[in-house]
Amino acid sequence: MVSTYARLAWTWTRAAAAYPGSFVLMIVLGFVTTALDVAVILVVFANTTTLVGFSRDEVLFLYGAASVSFAICDMFVSNIDRVSQHIKAGTLDTFLIRPVSAWLQLCADRFNANRIGRVLQAVLVLGYAVAALELDWRRAWIIPVMVITGIVIFAALWTLAGAAQFVLTDAPELVNAFTYGGHQLTQYPLSIYARDLVRSVTYVLPLAFVNWQPGLYALGRDDPLGTPEFMRFLGPAAALALALAAALAWRQGIRHYRSTGS
Amino acid sequence: MFGILRAYILIALWQARPGLAGYDITDAITYCFVTQAFIAPMQLFGGGLGIPERIRSGDIALDLVRPAPLQAWTLAEDVGRAAYLFLARGIPPMLVGAAVFGVVLPGGPGQWAAFLTGFALAIVVSFGWRYLIALSVCWLVDDRGVAVLSMVLTTFFSGMMVPLHIFPGWLADVARSLPWAAMVQLPTDLYLGKAPVMETLAFQAFWAAVLLGLGALGTRAIRHKVVIQGG
């Protein structure tokens, strides 16, 4: 499965690298675009030392953790949102008759290696924040767990979004509100948002487990909204549950797909 | 959706620093939704003009021989689209903002008039900038690079993400004198009644004239460029 993906991804990368100037430029620009979010955080903290009780480096830590997961998914999974175009154009049929899972093929569809710029940017921010905060190493073990949890959650979200396209056919903007919106939401401490919103992203759509709950543990903080300590470790379970739901939804979508017939 | 998330960030900042930049919390929330309403009419994330596509396909040659000036014709098209998008994509975010957080409206017809004039000028400035970006495709062939660059500059320096007034020190001064400030920051300040009306409109008109002037020069330049390629 991995080797198939790698081979498909490599094909697209080679195609894109045929225009090396454009390719390098896009990597740099991907880096710059995402750096804008960091610029905003820096501007905000040029005006205040704490935001809802969180320091600049703590916010950068939360931002970095969420963005590493998000950027990796953006690179490896997000191509699946092109499924709506394939459904409309009838080209999904070709994916279904090839001897590789449609999900895998769609994730690798037009694989965009220049998104590595975004991953790099997020890794740098996270690295900086971890170094600057001098986190307690007895708590820092949760960071890799957190990043992997985040990857699973975002990958599941994208799969759900893709599955929704089978029903909605043409509403990528609607589902983008959940994927890109989810990333936007997790960039800041969740305690800046309204309680109901935080509750819904904790108990309904488990975005709070991407970086907020485990992040609080890594930072050695109590939840300002008062969730109990054991919630910090529920991330993997929540991610697994969401992944299962996404897998089911995707299967349902594929099963109920009707070709436009060509 | 994104507007709501941005509003919460601004609320948290204004709770930490009440009165920052001369705005109170309601002003900050209003700022967020007014700027959100600008995205579609001003095409702040770039695009909106069909020119890059027509340059690549060569159809631009047809456009240049039409008996109407390319720039004025594209401007007319863009203003029409902006007027529609203002109603269709501008009003809903304001209503959402008003329903979720509560926003302020301009006080009195004078402020409304100032805002609407500033908004109209902002549309022209935004068009002037995007027109230049679109023409650059004639020399660069690939439009994605400049498109992203333009998006980065526009979203950051227009005040789309955070008000330019809270930028630190000299960056704020620089940002306020650039053309992007005339697109988002200034019309929003006119809406909130936080800017001197005449000076602001003059600044916007200045940038509109400069960008349109450059656009006119660019149009002449591509005419030669196209002729050289053999059309």
- Inside any domain, residue A180: yes
Instruction: Kindly state the helix (H) or strand (E) to which residue A199 belongs, with its residue range.
Output: helix A195-203
Q: What is the pLDDT of residue B229?
A: 55
Task: Measure CA A219 to chain center.
Answer: 22
Give residue B228's pLDDT band: very low, low, confident or very high (50, 70, 90): low
Taking the C-alpha atoms of residue A116 and residue A154, their distance in angstroms, rounded to an integer, is 17
- Inside any domain, residue A260: no
- Inside any domain, residue A245: yes
Residue A19 belongs to domain spanning:
2-255
For residue A112, pLDDT beyond 70: yes
Tell me: the pLDDT tens digits for B89-116? 889 889 999 999 989 999 889 999 999 9
Tell me: the pLDDT tens digits for B30-85? 999 999 999 998 888 877 788 888 887 878 888 888 888 889 999 999 999 999 99
For residue A127, pLDDT beyond 90: yes
- Inside any domain, residue A224: yes
- Inside any domain, residue A52: yes
Q: Do A50 and B16 touch (CB under 8 A)?
A: yes
Mean pLDDT for the stretch of residues B167-193:
93
For residue B206, pLDDT beyond 70: yes
For residue B230, pLDDT beyond 80: no
Q: Which of A156-170, A234-248, B130-144 has the lowest mean pLDDT?
A: B130-144
Q: What is the pLDDT of residue A26?
A: 84
Mean pLDDT for the stretch of residues B172-184:
93
Give residue A105's pLDDT band: very low, low, confident or very high (50, 70, 90): very high
Average pLDDT, chain B: 89
- Inside any domain, residue A261: no
- Inside any domain, residue A162: yes
For residue A131, pLDDT beyond 90: yes
Q: Which of A102-111, A112-121, B101-110, B135-144 has the lowest mean pLDDT?
A: B135-144
What residues in A contact B13, CB-CB < 8 Å? 44, 47-48, 51
- Whether ipTM tops 0.85, in short, is yes
Kindly report the nearest CA distance between residue A115 and chain B, in angstroms.
Answer: 13
Kindly report the nearest CA distance between residue A254 and chain B, in angstroms.
Answer: 29
Q: A200 CB contacts (<8 Å, ≥6 apart)?
A: none
What residues in B contact A47, CB-CB < 8 Å? 13, 16-17, 20, 166, 168
Average pLDDT, chain A: 90
Q: What is the pLDDT of residue A244?
A: 97
Give residue B213's pLDDT band: very low, low, confident or very high (50, 70, 90): very high
B88–chain A Cβ distance below 8 A for any pair: no
What residues in A contact B8, CB-CB < 8 Å? 188, 192-194
Q: Do B148 and A33 touch (CB under 8 A)?
A: yes
Q: Do B20 and A47 touch (CB under 8 A)?
A: yes
Assigned token pair, A215: 């992040």
Q: Which of A43-47, A137-141, A241-245, B143-147 has the lowest mean pLDDT?
A: B143-147
- Inside any domain, residue A262: no
Tell me: the pLDDT tens digits for A55-94? 999 999 999 999 999 999 999 999 998 888 888 888 888 8
Domain count, chain A: 1
Q: Do B12 and A184 touch (CB under 8 A)?
A: no
* Phi and psi at residue B46, to the nearest 5°: 100, 170
Q: What is the pLDDT of residue A261?
A: 61
For residue B231, pLDDT beyond 50: no
Taking the C-alpha atoms of residue B139 and residue B78, their distance in angstroms, rounded to an integer, is 23
Instruction: Kindly state the helix (H) or strand (E) to which residue A54 belongs, with its residue range.
Output: strand A54-55
